[in-house]
């Protein structure tokens, strides 16, 4: 049957006698009504409503809205240039392990009530809180894209605080404990411990260092890359930091220089600072295993390699480092994370109380311990 000529959209009569309506959407693609119509007038009314919705900016792509969440989520990961390989791997794993109840649901069927039910059941399950928070964050990002694509009108992810990873308070080591760890670990890894503890480098940043990133004369280490290792594939590569602030040059404390100089002579590769016994780039898991053995030897069970970074920044805050100082050393573009270290120091009530008594005894503010930072 010939299509009916009209200003917007097309109507044609099917062999069954019913009518089919279609139109060219704002995305330039032809869209067909999700159902046929008994009369031409019914089809015409539907097209009039679609045209009005498009003009008001509230039109929905009904066909896209019927796409299954799992298919749409995988396409989102593949097409989004901001998604890194490690995060893509994490999201696909969470899609398989935690978001499975939503995978076969159409986008339009994922309502706020469905999300709340999924989230509450996930929290009662065996998954870790961090993985569930990551899964919710991924779900929200995908549904935000669905809103932008016109598949749904509103993001159904409306649970306050669901993306927050309420991790336990990280441990802080003393300088003496850091020295014990350095003494207990295999010599090849000593410099890695010191760079994490006193310069705030992440494990991936340590593994990505090249020789020209270390300047012993200027007493600096420059972070340009982050070593990424996939969890479910034997793939490792140097990636860019998460933000521009991640690229930074950090001053090395003088007491770290002798160990770092020894490492450059004895253990560094021809190009990279940290290499394995085979001369290839050192894997982060090799550092983790060596650190775990040393940690257990000195009786610091539960203390992680990342806790070294937390330790160094807390001690830096205790010396009077400002928020901007900490942001530089951490490689953070937001003050939120760096501010935690200032709070950790400012909140040591017992030491502050003792310092106040010291002040009362001597009557001189100069007698206050220099390691106490009091924030107004």
Is there a catalytic annotation at residue 310? no
Chain position carrying tokens 């040059």: 249
Q: Is residue 170 among the annotated active site residues?
A: no
Catalytic residue check, 74: no
Which of the following is catalytic: 140, 190, 310, 332? 332
Look up 341 and say whether it is catalytic: yes
Instruction: Determine the Cα–Cα distance for residues 278 and 293; give it in Å rounded to an integer.
Output: 21
One of 72, 76, 136, 341 is an active-site residue; which one? Answer: 341
268-283 burial, b for 16+ CB within 10 Å, e for fewer?
beeebbbbeeeeebbe
Q: Which one of the listed residues 98, 188, 202, 263 is annotated catalytic?
A: 202
Contact 201, 221 (CB under 8 A): yes
Q: CB–CB of 316/341 below 8 Å?
A: yes
Total count of residues recorded for the chain: 376
- Catalytic residue of the set 119, 309, 310, 329: 309
* Cα gap 138→68, rounded to integer Å: 15
Ramachandran assignment for 372, one of left (phi > 0), alpha (psi -120 to 50 degrees), beta (any other):
beta
Q: Is 332 a catalytic residue?
A: yes
User: Are 196 and 203 a contacting pair, CB within 8 Å?
Assistant: yes
CA atoms of 68 and 340, how far apart (whole Å): 41
CB atoms within 10 A of CB 150: 20
Measure the CA–CA gap between 269 and 275, rounded to whole angstroms.
6
Structure-token pair, residue 53: 């919705």
Which pairs count as long-range contacts for 319-326, CB under 8 Å and 24+ apart, including other chains? 319/370, 319/371, 320/370, 320/373
One of 35, 45, 130, 306 is an active-site residue; which one? Answer: 306
Q: Which two tokens stand for residue 203?
A: 């494990």
328 φ/ψ sector (left φ>0, alpha ψ -120 to 50, else beta) = alpha
Structure tokens, 172: 């802080």
Distances (CA, A) of 226 to 86, 94, 96, 240, 279: 12, 23, 27, 6, 19
Q: Which residues are catalytic, by number?
A: 202, 306, 309, 332, 341
């Amino acid at each position: 049957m010939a299509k009916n000529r009209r200003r917007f959209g097309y109507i044609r009569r099917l062999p069954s006698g019913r009518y089919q309506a279609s139109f060219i959407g704002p995305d330039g693609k032809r869209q067909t009504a999700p159902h046929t119509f008994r009369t031409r007038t019914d089809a015409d009314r539907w097209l009039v409503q679609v045209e009005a919705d498009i003009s008001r900016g509230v039109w929905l792509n009904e066909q896209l809205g019927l796409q299954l969440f799992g298919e749409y989520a995988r396409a989102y990961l593949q097409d989004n240039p901001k998604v890194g390989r490690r995060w893509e791997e994490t999201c696909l794993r969470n899609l398989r392990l935690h978001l499975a109840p939503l995978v076969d649901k159409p986008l339009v069927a994922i309502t706020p009530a469905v999300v709340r039910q999924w989230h509450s059941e996930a929290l009662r399950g065996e998954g870790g809180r961090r993985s569930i928070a990551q899964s919710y964050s991924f779900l929200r990002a995908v549904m935000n894209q669905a809103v932008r694509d016109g598949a749904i009108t509103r993001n159904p992810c409306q649970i306050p605080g669901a993306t927050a990873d309420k991790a336990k308070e990280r441990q802080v080591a003393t300088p003496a404990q850091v020295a014990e760890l350095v003494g207990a670990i295999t010599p090849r890894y000593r410099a890695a411990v010191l760079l994490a503890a006193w310069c705030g480098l992440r494990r991936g940043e340590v593994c990505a260092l090249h020789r020209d990133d270390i300047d012993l004369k200027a007493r600096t280490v420059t972070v340009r890359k982050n070593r990424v290792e996939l969890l479910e594939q034997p793939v490792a590569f140097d990636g860019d930091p998460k933000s521009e602030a991640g690229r930074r040059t950090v001053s090395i404390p003088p007491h770290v220089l002798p160990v770092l100089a020894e490492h450059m002579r004895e253990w560094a590769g021809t190009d990279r600072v940290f290499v394995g016994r085979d001369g290839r780039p050192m894997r982060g898991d090799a550092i983790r295993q060596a650190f775990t053995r040393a940690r257990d030897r000195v009786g610091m069970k539960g203390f992680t390699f990342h806790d070294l970074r937390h330790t160094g920044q807390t001690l830096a805050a205790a010396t009077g480092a400002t928020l901007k100082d900490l942001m530089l050393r951490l490689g953070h573009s937001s003050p939120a994370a760096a501010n935690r270290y200032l709070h950790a120091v400012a909140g040591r009530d017992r030491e502050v109380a003792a310092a106040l008594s010291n002040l009362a005894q001597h009557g001189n503010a100069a007698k206050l311990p220099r390691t106490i930072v009091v924030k107004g």
